[in-house]
Amino acid sequence: MKFTILGGSGFIGSHLAIALSKRGEAYERPERSDQSIFCKNLGHVIYCIGLTANFRERPFDTVRAHVLNLMNILENCTFDSFLYLSSTRLYLKGRQGDECADVCVNSNDPEDLYNLSKLMGESVCFASARPKVRVARLSNVFGQKAGSSDFISSLISDAVEKGEVILKSGAASEKDYVSVQDVVALLPKIAVSGQHRLYNVAAGKNVSHQCVLNEIQKITGCDVDISDEGESRVFPEISIQRIQDEFGFSPALLIPSLKDLIPQYEMRTTHDQN
C-alpha cells in the first residue's frame, strides 16, 4: 500500500509524512512541479495543498490551490483513493455543524472567498465519477508550527517571546480545535477504508478565546490585553459522531494539551536566541 501526499511540505503534510513513516507505510511527497505524478498510480492520495491564514492577501493562489490544481489531479492522475482536505470553517454562518448541514456563504463578503473555494473543491470531488473520492473537513488544527500566523500559534508565540498577548477579537469567540497528531492518525484510515464521502475531523467541543487566554497566562505568566472593540464569533458545535462510530475516534482537547505544547515553543525560542 502506498500513499501520495500532495502538499507534503506544509504543516499537515509534513506531520502526515512523519506519522506514515513511523507506521512503516510507503509514501511519496512530490513537488508541485513534479510531472511524474501523471505517469503512475499514486495509490492513496491525500490532498493537503491549501492556504489558510493568508488567503485574504492571496485570493488567486487560494482558488488555484483549492480548485484548479485539484481539478487537474482528479482529471489526469491514476489513484486507488483520493482524500481532499477541506475545512469546518464552512459551518461558521450556519446553525449546525454536521456533515448533512446546509452551508451559508456570501460572494460579496471577502471573508467567504476561502469557504467558497473549499466548497467548489468539495463539489468537484463529489461530482467526480472516480471511485473512492472523499472529503475531510478539518477543524482548527493545533500543534507546533514554526513561524505560523494562525490564532493559537500567534498567542503562544507572543506569550513566550514578548510576555504579552493582545487579543483583537472578542474573548467570547468560540472555535473547535483538533490535535495535528489526531488528524494525521485518522486521515489514512479515512483514505483507505472510509464508508462515507464526507467526514468532519474535529474535537467536537468548542473552546472560547477567554479559556485559551486564561490557560496560556496560567502557564507562561504573560500579560493579557483584550480589545473592547473585538467582534465575537461563535461556531456551531462540530459533530464528530461519524468518525467516532466508524473509527472509534477519541480526540485530545486543546486546553489540557497546552501544558505540553507551550514548552515546545519555549524551547524553539531559546534555540533561536542561541
* pLDDT tens digit sequence for 216-239: 999 999 999 988 777 889 999 999
Question: For the domain that residue 228 is a member of, what is the CATH number?
Answer: 3.40.50.720
Nearest Cα to Cα of residue 41 among 4, 68, 7: 4
Buried b (16+ CB within 10 A) or exposed e, 189-212: ebbeebeeebbbbbbbbbbbbbeb
Q: Whole domain around residue 238: which residue ranges?
A: 2-273
Q: Grid coordinates standing for 39?
A: 505517469
- Claim: this prediction has a pTM higher than 0.85: yes
Q: Kindly report the CA angle at 146 between 226 and 203, in degrees rounded to 5?
A: 65
In DSSP terms, 27 is beta-bridged to 3
pLDDT digits (tens, 9 = 90+) for 4-15: 999 999 999 999
pLDDT digits (tens, 9 = 90+) for 124-181: 999 998 889 999 999 999 998 765 678 899 999 999 999 999 998 899 999 999 999 9
Q: Would you say how long the chain is, in residues?
A: 274
Q: Kindly report the CA angle at 9 between 8 and 11, in degrees rounded to 5?
A: 95
Nearest Cα to Cα of residue 191 among 101, 125, 100: 125
Count of structural domains within the chain: 1
